[in-house]
């Protein structure tokens, strides 16, 4: 069974500070992809970053990086130098090579950036 767990319903961070959003996963698939999405209050889902299970290096996209620890089955999102516009819901998702058509989402973390 595939499962994504996000244990932080809500997080606060001071502007310009870094913040880590936790994500753990469970899968029997030997090959899989991990994704993070941002959902602002307007509702659209914005793709942020991808990590493949066989990637040797942690993924980075601008201020976003993914702290991938395969043995611990964790894929935490790190946002550096937080901005007010980072306030949003963040979802972690997984897609397995053997269940390639389906994505599995966590319940999300609501991030609030404080000026």
Partner 1 sequence: DVKVTQSSRYLVKRTGEKVFLECVQDMDHENMFWYRQDPGLGLRLIYFSYDVKMKEKGDIPEGYSVSREKKERFSLILESASTNQTSMYLCASSLVASYNEQFFGPGTRLTVL
Q: Are 59 and 50 in contact (CB under 8 A)?
A: yes
Does position 41 bind partner 1 by CB under 8 A?
no
- For 93, phi then psi, to 5°, come to -145, 155
Distance CA 29, CA 97 (A): 7
The stretch among 12-20, 67-75, 79-87, 97-105 that binds partner 1 (CB under 8 A) is 97-105
Q: What's the length of the chain? A: 115
Distance CA 53, CA 2 (A): 14
Distance CA 81, CA 70 (A): 26
Among 79, 91, 111, 113, binds partner 1 (CB under 8 A): 91
Among 45, 81, 84, 114, binds partner 1 (CB under 8 A): 45
Cβ closest to partner 1, residue 32 vs residue 113: 32
Cβ closest to partner 1, residue 6 vs residue 82: 6
Does position 7 bind partner 1 by CB under 8 A?
no
Does position 85 bind partner 1 by CB under 8 A?
no
């Amino acid at each position: 069974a595939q499962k994504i767990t996000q244990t932080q319903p809500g997080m606060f961070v001071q502007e310009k500070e870094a913040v880590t959003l936790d994500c753990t996963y469970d899968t029997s698939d030997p090959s899989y992809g991990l994704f993070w999405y941002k959902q602002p209050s307007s509702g659209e889902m914005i793709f942020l970053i991808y990590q493949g299970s066989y990637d040797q290096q942690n993924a980075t996209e601008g201020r976003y990086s993914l702290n991938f620890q395969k043995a611990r089955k964790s894929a935490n999102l790190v946002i550096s130098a937080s901005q007010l516009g980072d306030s949003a819901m963040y979802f972690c998702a997984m897609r397995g090579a053997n269940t390639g058509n389906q994505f599995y989402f966590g319940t999300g973390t609501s991030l609030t950036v404080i000026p």
